[in-house]
Copies of this chain bind each other. A is one copy, B any other.
Amino acid sequence: MKNLFLTISVSLLATACAHHHPGSALGNAPDHFGVKEVGSFHIGGRQVTLSGLPEKEIVFTAGAAPFKVNPNGDFEVEQMYVQYVKLHEHSRKARYPLLMWHGGGLSGVTWETKPDGKPGWQNFFLKAGHDVYVSDAVERGRASWARYPEIFKTEPFFRTKKEGWELFRLGPEGSYQTDPAKRVAYPEGTQFPVEAFEQFAKQGIPRWATNDPATQLAYDQYVQKVCPCVIMVHSQGGNFTFNAALKAPGMVKAVIAIEPSGVPGEKADLTPLIGIPHLFVWGDYLERYPLWQKITPNVDRFEQALRNQGTDVTRIDLPKTGVRGNSHMLMMDRNSDAIAQMIQDWMVAKNLSR
């Protein structure tokens, strides 16, 4: 009898918490969420054995005796890294886990706290009741990287701050200057917190041009492990996401594509995506960059092909809705919460979340 009584008490408390956690009783945003587990895993990859390479002498400290390192042996390579926050059932409102896939030259940090120190979309969607998974693709961040040219076939390249400033549309081409005080963002206004640009540049990760097949393979294994799911993807991750969804029919329940820069080719069979709702979100100033003018027609062609076959497609062109000045890094822009809310509303409308 005593155990039964305790069980009932806890159940009542749980109910009270369920109302308290989301703050819905007062119509306010919750100030916290209940978490069951924070964790991570690596997935994909393979073992590679190197042999016949010469020993290297490494000097750890100036003046100290060199230390011999034999680079030959077995290595695990081409895995990816996934970190998750699983909500307690009281706090969960979404039907499926939300997987956030980053873009080129970046890692999962894209979705975390914004460069200006304010909470990012990882935290927003946790508060909104989603189990959130944030990953680093093969070669990036905690996924680690492998020796080249023996394993990765080419050398990596590093994005300059100038390229980031322009490619991500913070200011017009040619407006980047080394001295932050001399940089000129869009005179009409940018939503990106340009005063935090150095902080954003610290998130940059070197990348290789030749790892796409390994990256796709690891993403495919990730989908098999975690889905059914919803995937939110940014920029270069687009092609990996659409292909992953094509290869795992029924596993990806929706795709939220934030300025995707890559899509499957014209000849791809898209019928596995017929029943999968898609949301495309675009920022401002795309028409001012030759590079973006080269990218967008291809993505628009893909979007149209989805519509033509009856896929449920929604497109949010922020400037057309009166929201101006958004950069390519929408999730870091000053109005990121408002955009996240549009996405959350879309998920609710598509019955993916309460």
Contacts and interface: CB of A to CB of B under 8 A. Distances in A.
A339 to B, nearest CB: 19
A186 interface: no
A6 interface: yes
B157 A209 contact: no
A88 B240 CA distance: 36
Contacts of A162: 73-74
A205 interface: yes
A83 to B, nearest CB: 7
A315 interface: no
Interface residues of A, number: 85
A32 B34 contact: yes
A226 interface: no
Interface in A53-73: 56, 58-61, 67, 69-73
* Residue in A76, A79, A161, A205 whose Cβ sees the most chain B Cβ within 10 Å: A76
A19 interface: yes
Interface of A: 6, 9-10, 13-14, 16-17, 19-21, 25-26, 31-42, 45, 47, 49, 56, 58-61, 67, 69-76, 79, 81, 83, 85, 88, 90, 107-109, 112-113, 117, 119-120, 122-123, 126, 136, 141-142, 144-147, 154-155, 157-158, 160-163, 178, 198-199, 201-206, 209-210, 212
Interface pairs A-B: 3 shortest CB-CB: A73-B160, A39-B113, A32-B88
Given A13-B16, A144-B206, 11 more contacts: A16-B20, A39-B112, A39-B123, A47-B198, A60-B212, A75-B158, A107-B144, A136-B142, A141-B142, A142-B142, A144-B203
